[in-house]
Structure 1
């Protein structure tokens, strides 16, 4: 009877370990590790960011080799598709780019040539938005607005 109990206990522990490994494996793969560089490209370095409440963050990145900025809005907790947007605008040139839709983890990338120019950028997740105007230039002080639509 002692041998039978040990075999049953060993079998239960094995089943528990396999179940825990499967559950943890599923959880880890269900939450992708999205970064601004993963969205925009590895050459893009984060130069600014703004939280969108507790829902996520919009990132402004820059690639010095080509003079382009890129923005990406990344949700804190990926999951069910919800409205996510990102935008960037260069007032001096009138150039803009953006992306929006119902996404599970992020919006973007959106690219503009911004070398030597101030940029305005921002993003939305669900009904919370952030907008940053006249950013990343020495001439003007940036202006940030966060709100609910």
Structure 2
């Protein structure tokens, strides 16, 4: 009887540990998990910023920044939240001094970009925009200057 109880306690403990491990691994996805790989092979996730419309705080997409160590290039994209309509989207990337600027803009359903700039051992400027038109004052936007210096 004593062995049966001990076996039941050990089995219960193992089941609890296994359940806890499953819950921990089933937590929220990291920002890198949402990246669509648009920059190509060799580009590793660096950062992501979610984009929300300022007037109603609705989520419209995420801009991702990646880096390729072998060639020294950064890459950025804007992945749009699925929508029945197209949205004006823009993503811009340059070195911190404004040189090496690359941009993509237009009406898209899925993503804008990828855009690239060589930025080994220097800072970058990174911006993204999602709105109804190219001059939408109520658009979601992010403008970062002299970031990710390396």
TM range (shorter): 0.5 to 0.7
- Asked if the contact 2:78/2:128 (under 8 Å) is kept, the reply is yes
Runs of 4+, deviation exceeding 6 Å: none
1:105 aligns with 2:113: no
Q: TM-score, normalised by structure 2?
A: 0.64
- Residue of structure 2 equivalent to 1:114: 119
Which ranges of structure 1 fall in alignment gaps of 5 or more residues? Answer: 1-33, 139-149
- Residue of structure 1 equivalent to 2:141: 129
The aligned length equals 104
- Residue of structure 1 equivalent to 2:78: 73
1:19-48 deviation per Cα after TM superposition (whole angstroms, max 9, x unaligned): xxxxxxxxxxxxxxx7342x1112111111
- Residue of structure 1 equivalent to 2:95: 90
- Asked if the contact 2:98/2:125 (under 8 Å) is kept, the reply is no
- Residue of structure 2 equivalent to 1:35: 35
Query: Could you tell me how far apart the structure 1 residues matched to 2:83 and 2:36 are?
Result: 15
Give 1 or 2: higher helix fraction: 1
- Residue of structure 2 equivalent to 1:145: none
Query: Could you tell me how far apart the structure 2 residues matched to 1:93 and 1:114 are?
Result: 11
1:37-91 deviation per Cα after TM superposition (whole angstroms, max 9, x unaligned): 2x11121111112111111111111000100000000112244211011001112
- Residue of structure 1 equivalent to 2:49: 50
- Asked if the contact 1:83/1:103 (under 8 Å) is kept, the reply is yes
How far did residue 92 of structure 1 move?
3.5
How far did residue 93 of structure 1 move?
6.3
Root-mean-square deviation (Å):
1.7
Which ranges of structure 2 fall in alignment gaps of 5 or more residues? Answer: 1-33, 53-58, 132-138
Distance change in 2, residues 1:83/1:93 (3 Å): closer
